[in-house]
Structure 1
Amino acid sequence: MLADLPSEPAQTPAQPIDEAVVRAVDRALAALRRGEEVVVATADGGVGAVVSVESVPNDAVARLKRLTGGEPMLAVTRRRAVVLGLIQDDRPGTAGDDRPGTAGAVMLAAPGGLTPEQIRALADPEHYPEGRLPPGLTAAPAEPGSFAAAAVEMARLARLLPAAIFARAAGVQGTAAGWAGRIDRLLVGARDVNDYRVHVVRTLRRVADARVPLSGAENTRIYAFRPADGGPEHLAIVIGEPAPDQPVLARLHSECFTGDLLGSLRCDCGDQLRGAIAEIARQGSGVLLYLAQEGRGIGLVNKLRAYRIQDLGFDTVDANEILGFEADERVYLPAAEMLRQLGFSAVRLMTNNPEKLRQLARCGIEVVERVPHIFPANGHNEAYLRTKAERSGHMF
């Protein structure tokens, strides 16, 4: 089974990757999750500090102001700003458009500054009193590469609520690295944060594999892929002995703790996972890529928050957007890289999601056929499946 793979597959990025930069961003994300400030340097020579909304103590705003000498502001996603009614929704209305017009960040400020309570209310739907905005609140789009853009992207990458407080440092003497060292905070470049997703994918390496007989698919081997920052592993479940020179029957499956492991009836993920393994085994060979992208890329905690919002009567798309995320935050570069390292360049893709077809093709993998992958509703997920079809363009 794929016996021609080397024991330690070589990395083949288009350009050299500075793995130290990747690790620096990862350390900054961990600090953000702990509620610590992170120093951010922008390409124009600016330097400032960022702290997440979700993890901050009550004195975070005052502490950030003392640390930087600047006026703290709140950065949220454009999607969250639309939900709050602060900017107009300029997103294209057709399912499958490249990127929504709401991509990016928005800076929020108020005369005299925002209080921690106001910040939490603006960032977290569970704290937002309907129709109540701070007096004099202003909203301005953030430029790509700015502190605000980096702050929001860091919070999103850390799988926190996609909002952060930031302040530009005033009167900094010397370099950004020197200032970060003096205040004992981690330093990261805004450009490195922006490029992090692509860089991490290009550092994916196969780190382990083993024979794992499965029920109904005994001739199975699992390959683990890990990025250079030591982040979550993606898995390739290879069943049978697929020929690399032929289009491989493939399924891209984003992890779903509630559906895959617990058997949740709110979604069809568990059925899709087990059904894909059974179908690949029935056809003789294929690969299922188990991608570490819980909750359509927003993480398990945020998925549970989205469930609470759905219980108030919103659908899955609205719930993600109310939290400040896009309807689907997943990326498929890891899947394409894993397929390449396994020796596959063409797939017969088991999916109902046309976006997977488009994105995988854009990543350089030829999709020669869509194989429908449909399971009946169970009494709890009818609305979920209907939303997939009506709002996300899934083909049932």
Structure 2
Amino acid sequence: MSSPFGSAPVSALVVVDRAVSELRRGLDVVVTDDAGQRLRISAAEYATPDRLAGFSGADARLLLTNRRAATLKLRPLIGDPVALPLAGQLDAATIASLADPTVDLDHPLRGPFSILRRAPLAAEFAAVKLMKLARLLPAALVVEAASTDDGLLEVPASAITGYDDMAARGLRIVSDARVPLADAEAARIIGFRPADGGIEHLAILIGDPSRREPVLGRLHSECFTGDLLGSLRCDCGEQLRGAIRTIAEAGGGVLLYLAQEGRGIGLMNKLKAYRLQDQGFDTVEANERLGFDPDERIFRPAAEMLRLLGFDAVRLLTNNPEKVAGLKASGINVVERVPHAFPANNHNEFYLATKKAKSGHLL
């Protein structure tokens, strides 16, 4: 398959992007691996009696991440993900509720559930990863694909597990425009798109920073509720506008606006996490109950964006040591961590305290 972006591995990227689209539309796909496994998969959160008709084999199972399985007190766990046989124990309503922790408190005495005590297959790991890429809950229905499934899209497990890295390596600049901002009139917005035409990231270039010395920069993950609506549950909006002001006052730099909503879990799942927080769980516990890691973000795209802009060293505005480590691991020299914190309010003080205590933020 040819690409307007050159020699990037577009075929593998495109088939994953197509699989993401199919799953989000409620359709099934087939995941294959090097061991010869062909698994038909479906999003568990869409489970209905009609959908389960395609998952009636003796080997049909529900995949949950270890994070979610631990919440449900499933023991012992062997590998990640964990597989629960469907036969005789799981109907559509139970499957949907096991995938979605926002209803856990409505079903306090579920189970016990049996699990398959074996190491997960490569195709099973990839199936759950694909749910994450689709910004769905990380829970999948799987069954050995039948010959009648030949019309379904097939995607290699290796393409799924390698997608993040391939998409980052395939980033290209596709747009560049002057956009004067309230706190930085000398600003440009530069758009980056992966080779498969997937989700774009943005850079806000302020002034004309030198490429011969470390640039003052910030990595900012998009936050619809905080950045656009001014939500008081987080400090994202303050961090975004504060970083733009700081960079402008310093004479120039760059802010990378990364399409990694909700620490990489997506807006819909972030709203579910907010509901869990209203039930008494902190921000880390909420993500883990959903089946995610506390932080699902990757920083390879940011490193590639900096390189494409001509920067290989940065003075990073952040209180998150993982951002420093992530950029360094991707080949960017972080010469200084510049503190970037704002006062708490009555709505986000527990959130900020949790980031400090559990995520190591330097607040």
Q: Shorter-chain TM-score category?
A: over 0.9
3-state SS in 2 of match to 1:138: coil
Which stretch has the larger CA shift, 122-131 or 200-209? Answer: 122-131
**DSSP-derived class of the 1:150 partner:** helix
Partner of 1:125: 101
Q: Which residues of structure 1 form unaligned runs of 5+?
A: 1-8, 90-101, 173-178
Letter in 1 for 2:239: Q
Taking the aligned partners of 1:188 and 1:295, their CA distance within structure 2 comes to: 27
The one of 116, 120, 124 aligned to 1:143: 120
Match of 1:380 in 2: 347
CA distance in 2, matches of 1:143, 1:154: 15
| Alignment pair present for 1:154 and 2:130 | yes
Q: Find the aligned partners of 2:291 and 2:40 in 1 and give their Cα distance.
A: 22
Q: Tell me the residue number matched to 1:191.
A: 158
What is the letter of the counterpart of residue 54 of structure 2?
Answer: R
Taking the aligned partners of 2:226 and 2:206, their CA distance within structure 1 comes to 22
1:45 to 36, 41, 44: 36
After superposition, the C-alpha distances for 1:143-181 in whole angstroms (9 at most, x for unaligned) are 3523x21211111110001101000135x5xxxxxx65x
Three-state SS of the structure 2 residue aligned to 1:253 is strand
Aligned to 2:140: 164
The number of residue pairs the alignment matches comes to: 359
3-state secondary structure, aligned to 1:167: strand
| Cα contact 1:297–1:329 (8 A) shared by 2 | yes
Distance in 2 (alpha carbons) for counterparts of 1:109 and 1:266: 39
Assess if the C-alpha contact under 8 Å between 1:357 and 1:367 holds in 2. Answer: yes
Counterparts of 1:31 and 1:369 in 2: how far apart (Å)?
43
Matching of residue 61 in structure 1 with residue 52 in structure 2: yes
Of 202, 208, 217, the match for 2:169: 202
SS at 2:242's partner residue? helix
Q: Give CA-to-partner distance per residue, 1:113-143, whole Å, 9 cap, x none.
A: 5211221121111333544334552254643
Residues 187-234 of structure 1: CA deviation (Å, up to 9, x unaligned): 101111111111111111100000111112111111100012222210
- State the identity as a percent: 54
Alignment check: 8 A CA contact 2:283 2:354 kept: yes
Q: What does 1:73-88 correspond to in 2, within 5 Å?
A: 73-87=61-75
Per the alignment, in what secondary structure is the counterpart of residue 343 of structure 1? coil
**Is the 2:30–2:145 contact (alpha carbons within 8 Å) kept by the matching residues of 1?**
no
* Cα distance, 1:110 vs structure 2: 5.2
Match 2:245 to one of 263, 272, 278 = 278
Shift of 1:395: 0.5
| Residues 212-259 of structure 1 deviation map (CA, whole Å, 9 limit, x = unaligned) | 111121111111000122222100100011111110000000000000
CA–CA distance in structure 1, aligned partners of residues 121 and 194 of structure 2: 25
1:388 and 1:23 map into 2 onto residues whose CA distance is 36
What does 1:224-263 align with in structure 2 at a 5 Å threshold?
Answer: 224-263=191-230
**Secondary structure in structure 2 of the residue aligned to 1:54:** helix
Code of the residue aligned with 2:192 in structure 1: it is F
CA positional deviation for 1:58: 2.6
Describe the shift of the 1:144–1:63 C-alpha distance in structure 2 as closer, same or farther (beyond 3 A): closer
CA contact (8 A) 2:216 2:315 kept: yes
Measure the CA separation in 2 of the matches of 1:113 and 1:40. 25
- CA shift for structure 1 position 55: 2.6
> Cα deviations across residues 3-56 of structure 1 (Å, max 9, x unaligned)?
xxxxxx977xxxx64201110111011101111110111111121200001234
Q: Work out whether residues 209 and 223 of structure 1, in 8 Å CA contact, stay in contact via their aligned partners in 2.
A: yes
Q: Which amino acid aligns with 1:283?
A: A
2:203/2:257 contact within 8 Å kept: yes
Which residue identity is paired with 2:277?
A: Q
Q: Could you give the per-residue CA deviations for residues 326-364 of structure 1, whole angstroms, max 9, x where no partner exists? A: 111000000000000001000000000011111110000
Contact 2:58 2:87 in 1 (8 A): no
Query: Offset at 1:380?
Result: 1.2
Cα shift readout 1:289-327 (whole Å, capped 9, x = no counterpart): 000000000000000000000001111000111111111
Query: One-letter code of the match for 1:155?
Result: M
Q: Is the 8 A contact 1:247 1:346 kept in 2?
A: yes
> Per the alignment, in what secondary structure is the counterpart of residue 206 of structure 1?
strand
Report the secondary structure of 2:46's partner residue. Answer: coil
Matched AA of 1:242: P
Instruction: Choose 102-111 or 301-310, whichever is displaced more.
Output: 102-111
- Which AA in structure 2 matches 1:275? G
The answer to whether the Cα contact below 8 Å between 2:49 and 2:91 also exists between their aligned partners in 1 is no
Amino acid paired to 1:109 = P
Q: 1:156 to 1:262 in 2, by over 3 A?
A: same
| CA–CA distance in structure 1, aligned partners of residues 72 and 30 of structure 2 | 28
The one-letter code of the counterpart of 2:295 is D
